[in-house]
Structure formats: C-alpha cells, structure tokens
Amino acid sequence: MATDHSRSAARLMMTPAVILLLGWMLVPLTMTLYFSFKKYLPMRGDSLERGLDWVGFENYARFIRSSSFWPSVQATLMIVGGVLVITVILGILLAILLDQPFWGQGIVRILVIAPFFVMPTVSALVWKNMFMDPVNGMFAHLWRFFGAEPVSWLSDAAVPSIILIVSWQWLPFATLILLTAIQSLDSEQMEAAEMDGAPVLARFFHIILPHLGRAITIVILIQTIFLLSIFAEIFVTTGGSFGTRTLTYLIFQRVVDSQNIGLGSAGGVYAIILANIVAIFLMRIVGNNLDR
C-alpha cells in the first residue's frame, strides 16, 4: 500500500506537469476571452498601454454576421466531412484487406502507413505542384493522354483537391487503427461464421462492423479534432481562396492579415467551443476505457 510519504511525493512529482499545462491552458484562454470583448485594431492605433474599448458581444455578433462566416462553416463541414467519409470507408476496406494473409504483408503495411509521416507542408506542396499543376502536373499528363483538357485542380475544384490531399495524409491513421482493432477480433468466431456458410457481406455487417464500432468512433473523433484545425495544407496551396477558407483559416486571417484582434478572438472562442463539443464525446470514450 502507498504510504503517506510516497503519496505526497507522488503529488510533488505531478506538480510541474499540472502547473505547466494549467498555465498553457488558462493564460492564453483568458487573454483570448478578454480580447474578444474589446475593440482591438493595432493597425488603427489601439494599444494595450492606452487601454482598449469594451464592446460587449459586438465582436461575436460581427463575426457571425460577416459575409465570410457561413461560407467558412460550409468549407469546414465539407472538408472535415469529406475526409472523414473517405478515410473511414477506405480505411475499413483497406484494414480488412491487409488483415488477410498475403505475401509481403510487412512491406505493404509500411507503404500504406508512410503518408502519415510526411510533414503537412511537404505533402501539400508535392500534391499541388507535381500532381495538380494544370501544365506539368502528373494529372495534367494523364488527362492529356486520354485526350481530355487538363484541370486547374486547386482553383476550379479547390475543395475536393484539399479533401484529396488531407485524405491521403489521414487514410494511414484510420487504416492502422482499424487494422489493430480487426486483429483483436476473435478468429474462431469468424471461422464459425464462415463454416456455417455465412456470406461475406453478412459476416461483414454482423461480425466485423459491430466489432469495429468503438474503433471507428475513436477514429472519427480524433480525426475531427485534428481536421478542424488543419492549417498548413491550406496555407501553402490556396491560401484560403476558391472556397477553401475554413473556420480556422478565417480566424487566422482576421488575426494575422486584417489585424482585427477582437474579431479574431471572438472567432477563436467559437472554435474552442466547437472543438470542446467534439472533445466531450472523445473524452467519455477514453475515460470509460480507463476504468477497465
């Protein structure tokens, strides 16, 4: 049993991590909250030293009323939703395929996982220039080969292009987690079903899918949190034009480009609330898992 001595020692050992994270969370959060109620345009002479005007919920209202707000919500939903649908569906299929016995399993696994380790700026630029460029990109070559007119992917089909790039980055994550989950499936159960003559589809819907339920939920929640804040992929490709200005990118532009700190902070508070709604569900699952 833990003694009082070791218990107080334990508390002491936890302190640095707790204090650091507490500061990391509370200090910037308080500042964002404070700025969100202030008129703060540094370019127009507002400064912290001279004091900022209190504007109540003005920034919150203006952020929502602005003409770029709803398009940014739409862009966010399309990108996050699109990537989720693609990575989860392909991830399940790929995980099932990779779970079958075949020659070179180890190598194929490595090939499939590799995109996850590529830094976001590299994958975005490689896709943008070497694949999606309308003159010299690989897709342009392919299109011309089939006698079609090359497409300016990142301007004419910007949202699907971003979805493709981000899906490529996240498919390995979904596949790897779902594969891990499938491998924990009781193989005797599968065998029994197979011997009973259950058709492939029935086995999929009645055994594999229910077993994967929890893993799929986790993939969706974790990816949603990361996808809500994708930044570099948009920063180096479209810079937020052509309908790819997500909520994150809109807030970034308010703060950095137009230097409207009050407005950007109000947007930031919205983003924090949104992320927390997703996080609550994730935490519940992770928390339940701790008890077992």
Partner 1 sequence: MARAVTTRRKVLTTVAAWAIGLLIFFPIYWTILTSFKTEAQAINNPPLFFNFDWTLENYAVVQERSDYMRFLWNSVILAGGSTLLGILIAVPAAWSMAFVPSRRTKDILLWMLSTKMLPAVGVLYPISLLFVQFDLLDTRIGLILVLMLINLPIIVWMLYTYFKEIPVDILEAARMDGAGLTQEILYVLTPMAVPGIASTILLNIILAWNEAFWTLNLTAANAAPLTAFIASYSSPEGLFYAKLSAASTMAIAPILILGWFSQKQLVRGLTFGAVK
In the bound state with partner 1, the residue whose beta carbon lies nearer, of 32 and 244, is 32
- Do residues 242 and 154 make contact, with C-beta atoms less than 8 angstroms apart? yes
Residues composing the chain: 292
Give the nearest distance from C-beta 65 to partner 1 in angstroms: 20
User: What CA–CA distance (Å, rounded) separates 123 from 165?
Assistant: 7
Give the nearest distance from C-beta 240 to partner 1 in angstroms: 12
User: What CA–CA distance (Å, rounded) separates 139 from 130?
Assistant: 9
Give the nearest distance from C-beta 259 to partner 1 in angstroms: 10
In the bound state with partner 1, the residue whose beta carbon lies nearer, of 56 and 101, is 101
- Do residues 100 and 269 make contact, with C-beta atoms less than 8 angstroms apart? no
CA 187 to each of CA 39, 174, 184, 292: distance values in angstroms, whole numbers, following the listed order: 62, 22, 8, 23
Give the nearest distance from C-beta 143 to partner 1 in angstroms: 11
Main-chain phi, psi angles of 53, to 5 degrees: -75, 135
Tell me the helices (H) and strands (E) count for the chain, helix number first. 14, 2
Q: Containing H/E element for 145?
A: helix 138-145
In the bound state with partner 1, the residue whose beta carbon lies nearer, of 101 and 197, is 101
- Do residues 62 and 147 make contact, with C-beta atoms less than 8 angstroms apart? no
- The CB-side HSE value for 273 (13 A sphere, CA atoms) comes to 9
In the bound state with partner 1, the residue whose beta carbon lies nearer, of 92 and 177, is 177
Give the nearest distance from C-beta 46 to partner 1 in angstroms: 13
User: What is the DSSP secondary structure assignment for residue 100, as one 8-state letter?
Assistant: S
In the bound state with partner 1, the residue whose beta carbon lies nearer, of 24 and 70, is 24
Residues 143, 145, 150: CA angle, nearest 5 degrees:
25
Single-letter code of the amino acid located at 111: L
- Do residues 59 and 36 make contact, with C-beta atoms less than 8 angstroms apart? yes
In the bound state with partner 1, the residue whose beta carbon lies nearer, of 116 and 204, is 116
Give the nearest distance from C-beta 280 to partner 1 in angstroms: 9
Give the nearest distance from C-beta 146 to partner 1 in angstroms: 13
In the bound state with partner 1, the residue whose beta carbon lies nearer, of 69 and 116, is 116
User: What CA–CA distance (Å, rounded) separates 22 from 53?
Assistant: 29
Give the nearest distance from C-beta 78 to partner 1 in angstroms: 18
